[in-house]
Structure 1
């Protein structure tokens, strides 16, 4: 009797347990993907980005576009080209504050500091001049007129030559001792980003309006090679990957990074990057490349791989496209213009090792 009743009870209870089992199973099937994505998102949030924002140094009442930067390592002073403000801000990185603003400039673009002579060079797009300032007190000590649109500046490793891109197609060579122009390399178009490869004695130059990259011999100041960029256009920033002997060039149309062999200019790799790139730097210690873009991102690329894949995209602010990586201080500095209520400033990032 008990067994029959118990069996009857089980049969009457079975549908309830059966439906409970079905409901539970369905919930598991439906919710498990959600749970997986939530867990994945939480895990992603816990991963440290390769660049961590440490501080923002306000630049004061700076309007419009900000261009390139350079650093005096001994004093830890940063020069910031405030292009549309016709000024240069001098930032004390140790104390995170602006200590001087240099005025009476004409759309300053390129900046370089030469430690051997303790002189700052500021190239002006507005009148084609290069202004020289003493490193100790920022007093003006000279001016070199190049004609028009003085732009990027580079100094060779020996500190014996200062090169400035300018005009419709020229690379001026300045002598730091006499502070005069001693040479001019004719080019087919206005030079944008360029780099001096001291190991080979060559200068590699972006000519976006010519859809090319050209190579100039540093000794003879003659062009020795031209590499067409073909379907890649608007090549502005450039860096040298010395380990792989590649030239890294950031293009804006389309937004891609191209790696070119230093030997013959052949395309080694291309990879998508953020839009409106204006600076690219190599972090040799971590084998990374950093690309800063006006679209509002910093892209981090893995240069251990021949394909240069992107490993991180760090959001910044629209228009913040110029930057400076300082290996000696292990800092990545980003120039952020005034945007959406945020004041202009220098954002300080600290690279994080894997």
Structure 2
């Protein structure tokens, strides 16, 4: 299995570098260090608090807080069934964890002490979550429920209720907000992006992601008003206008993408096969600049714009027999990528 994975990664790098070999000299990203964390559980969306250099990492039944500079574990928030993502609202000193297990919930915790303040009932398979500071709203999606959920960050953590959910007409995975009332949500089963107007609380458009398919990762450059969408089938990084849904570029990426991010005028797509794609716009055209080799399983990431570092959670993996390879116990790590 190990040799097969190495061949897959090598093939991905060769495929992508064929169209961008001239640009590699201009982009020199690579793994700079690895924090060996350990502990039980899988992992999902990693969230960076750039103001305090902390990483919030859901680990299935608990969420770890890690110092981004040293890799030291600062805290561990218990009590989740299936933790997926974390949003932080520094203004009110709170964090929010989506728990997709059971009937669905969002765990509210204190950003300083990591104490659990309460749990808000949501919907099954509560998954992607972000905080929009401009709107002062926490935004989360439910895959099984097919809805966008919203609430103010100062919600009563014990007795508060979310706003009436917004039906999306598909199974959402992740989302982005423009800070001005528009929310963009990947509908993985429909191969589309749903556009929600928060003022009317309705879906106003559905934009196809073709030639990509099964969109999962999403990020937005609010300056250029572009969405960067990671698709799994076909495997593409789609660059889309946030104004009219026009697909401006379609770039090849590796297998098993789970996240995209925008930083330093570049876009990144992290893939399970052990490839981190770096793309940029050159003379009005998007192209792949570089493919960084990362450990297998490093499919999600968080970025710190202040230090221009990328953090990818993963673990050593057992040989796969059926389905996804399982992580070896105690081998969880954070891989740090930066410019070298």
Matched residue of 1:183: which SS?
coil
Distance 1:48 1:311 in 2: 8
Note the C-alpha offset of 1:318: 1.5
- Name the CA shift for 1:56/1:191 in 2 (closer, same or farther; >3 Å): same
State the match for 2:170 in structure 1.
189
Q: Are 1:125 and 2:91 matched, yes or no?
A: no
CA distance in 1, matches of 2:51, 2:305: 14
TM-score of the superposed pair, with normalisation by structure 2: 0.83
* Contact 2:209-2:238 at 8 Å conserved across structures: no
Within the alignment, does 1:72 sit opposite 2:76 as a pair?
A: no
Q: Distance in 2 between matches of 1:79 and 1:157?
A: 18
* From 252, 257, 260, the counterpart of 1:277: 257
Distance in 1, Cα, partners of 2:223 & 2:91: 27
User: What count of residue pairs does the alignment treat as equivalent?
Assistant: 303
Higher relative contact order (CA closer than 8 Å, sequence separation 6+): 2
* Higher alpha-carbon deviation: 95-104 or 245-254: 95-104
Structure 1, unpaired ranges of 5+:
1-43
2:62 is the counterpart of 1:87: yes
Aligned to 1:12: none
CA RMSD, aligned part only? 2.2
**Contact 1:62–1:338 (Cα < 8 Å) also in 2:** no
How far apart are residue 331 of structure 1 and its match? 1.3
Whether the 8 Å CA contact 1:120–1:135 is kept in 2: the answer is yes
Alignment of 1:173-252 (within 5 A): 173-179=150-156, 180=160, 181-198=162-179, 200-252=180-232
Q: SS at the partner of 2:189?
A: helix
Listed as ranges, the gaps of 5+ residues in structure 2 are 1-21, 319-327
Checking the alignment, whether the CA contact within 8 Å between 2:37 and 2:71 is kept in structure 1 is no
Q: CA deviation at 1:141?
A: 0.3
> Is the 2:271–2:297 Cα contact (8 Å) retained in structure 1?
yes
Equivalents in 1 of 2:212, 2:187: separation in Å? 12
Would you say the 8 A contact 2:77–2:115 is kept in 1?
A: no
Aligned to 2:137: 161
Shift of 1:235: 0.2
Using the TM superposition, give the Cα deviation of residue 176 of structure 1 relative to its aligned residue in structure 2, in angstroms: 1.3
TM normalised by structure 1 equals 0.80
Deviations 1:276-312 (A, max 9, x none): 11111111x3x21111100111011113454421111
**Aligned match for 1:253, one of 218, 233, 252:** 233
Residue 327 of structure 1 pairs with residue 305 of structure 2: yes
Deviations 1:157-216 (Å, cap 9, x if unpaired)? 326210110133111111212243123111112211110011x42111100112211101
Preserved contact between residue 89 and residue 101 of structure 1 (Cα < 8 Å): yes
Residue 105 (structure 1) aligned with residue 80 (structure 2): yes
Alpha-carbon distance change, 318 to 305 in structure 1, aligned in 2, over 3 angstroms: farther
1:270/1:106 CA distance change after superposition, 3 Å: same
Contact 1:110 1:151 in 2 (8 A): yes
Cα deviation for residue 345 of structure 1 reads: 0.7
Deviations along 1:228-265, one digit per CA (max 9) or x if unpaired, are 23453110011223343322211111111112222221
Contact map agreement 2:237 2:250 (CA 8 A) in 1:
yes
Equivalent position of 1:348 in the other structure: 336
| Residue-by-residue CA offset, 1:82-115 (whole Å, 9 max, x unaligned) | 13xx121111223321132222211100111110
Match of residue 264 from structure 1? 244
In structure 2, relative to structure 1, the CA distance for the partners of 1:130 and 1:157 (3 Å cut) is: same
Q: Tell me the residue number matched to 1:300.
A: 278
Tell whether 2:120 aligns with 1:144: yes
Partner SS for 2:141: strand
